Each structure stands twice: as structure tokens, then as C-alpha cells.
Amino acid sequence: MQIFETTRIGFGPRMGAYLLDILLGGVFASGFGIFIAFLGFGAGGVLGLAIDEQVELENSLKAIGVGAGIGAVMGMIGGCIIGYFIYSIIEALTGASPAKMILGYKVANSDGSGGEISLYLKRWAVKNASSVFSMLALVTGAIILQPLGSIIGFVVFLGCFLALGEDKQALHDKVAKTAIFNKRNII
């Protein structure tokens, strides 16, 4: 057994960090979504006006309203998706999500030695494989990637419960050869 296993962060504290990340990520993504929704509201209103500039005022105002509403909804949806992506990529670049930073946890090599960005990116890609496959399906048009991503996402979800074991590593940690430690215990 490795000397640093006793300092690894197990399932309970990781679940707490995850729940805190959901809360913080929701606030961040919602704020970002509202900002983008305002931009969409304005752009949709202008587009509605441009499309309907030849008709009478009453119909023009309806077109502006419809365009603004559609722009706001699309902006909110897109903004939330982009906001959650930005929030999640923080861990891929730093080795700690905002909640892990608050709690003093960080991703490191499984032996307790410090990690680097390539390690964090590999772990992030495995942990978020479902989202990665969904984005690839969207970008490439290869629709087979979407159900494949869903299956992988389900396996990764179930693999999170491996952190209940003695090694305190989820499936994505085992694949990436990482573990979560208190920052002060990383060598």
C-alpha cells in the first residue's frame, strides 16, 4: 500500500465538494446565462425589427417582442451551458474545482506527488466523457457519439462509488492515475 493513502480524500468529503460545486456552478452559470440572455434579448429585438420593418407599427412591435423573447430564452440556455463549461474547466486547468479550492483539496498523482495541467486535463476528460462525447457529436454530426457518451457517462457515474473503497479513488481517478488530497499533503 502507498504511504499517502491515509491522506486521500474519500467519498463523503468529495460528495460534499461536488454538492458545493453544484451550488456555486449554478450561481455562476445562471449569472452568465442572465448576462447572455440580456444580449439575446437586445439582439432578438433588433432582428425582429429588421425582419418586420416594412409593416405597420403594431405588427412591428409584436415582431420585436417575439424576437426579443426568443433571443432571451436562447441566450439563457446557451449562457447556462457555456457557464457550466467554464466553471468545470477550472478544475481541468488548476487541479481543483472552486469547491475543492475552498475546502483545501486538490487533484494529484495517485502516489501523492503534485500534478501538472496534462494530468488535470486527462482526469477532466475522463470524468466529463459524457459531455465530451456530446460536444463531439454536435460538432462532427456523428450522432452515434451521443448514446456512446451517455453509456460512458453512466459508467463514470457508477465509478464514482469506487471512492468508497480503500483506495479512495473514483473510476476517473483510477483511469487517470490520480487521487484527491488535502493540498498540504501533496509532495
Task: Please report the pLDDT score of residue 183 as a whole number.
Answer: 95
d(CA 104, CA 7): 12
The CA–CA distances, whole Å, from 59 to 46, 64, 89 equal: 14, 9, 44
Q: Buried b / exposed e across 130-153, counting CB within 10 Å, b at 16+?
A: bbbbbeebeeeeeeebeebbeebb
**Residue from 88, 108, 118, 119 nearest 24 by CA:** 88
Going from N- to C-terminal start, the domains of the chain cover: 5-182
**Residue from 11, 179, 9 nearest 111 by CA:** 179
Q: Letter for the amino acid at 98?
A: P
Neighbour tally for 23: CB within 10 Å: 11
- Report the predicted TM-score, pTM, of the whole model to 2 decimal places: 0.82
Q: pLDDT tens track of the chain, all 187 residues?
A: 454 445 899 999 999 999 999 999 999 999 988 888 887 777 766 766 665 555 565 666 676 777 778 888 888 988 888 999 999 999 999 999 999 999 999 999 999 999 999 999 999 999 999 999 988 998 999 999 999 999 999 999 999 999 999 999 999 999 999 999 999 999 8
Task: Please report the pLDDT score of residue 67 as a whole number.
Answer: 74
**What is the DSSP code string of 120-165?**
HHHHHHHHTHHHHHHHHHHHH--TTHHHHHHHHHHHHHHHGGGGGS
Task: Please report the pLDDT score of residue 75 as a whole number.
Answer: 85
Task: Please report the pLDDT score of residue 49 as a whole number.
Answer: 60
Q: Which uninterrupted H or E stretch holds 100?
A: helix 98-103
Task: Please report the pLDDT score of residue 6 as a whole number.
Answer: 54
Task: Please report the pLDDT score of residue 73 as a whole number.
Answer: 87
Return phi, psi of residue 165, to 5°.
-75, 180
- Given a contact cutoff of 8 angstroms between Cβ atoms, the answer to whether 113 and 63 are in contact is no
* Beta strands 105-109 and 178-182, pairing class: antiparallel
Task: Please report the pLDDT score of residue 3 as a whole number.
Answer: 47
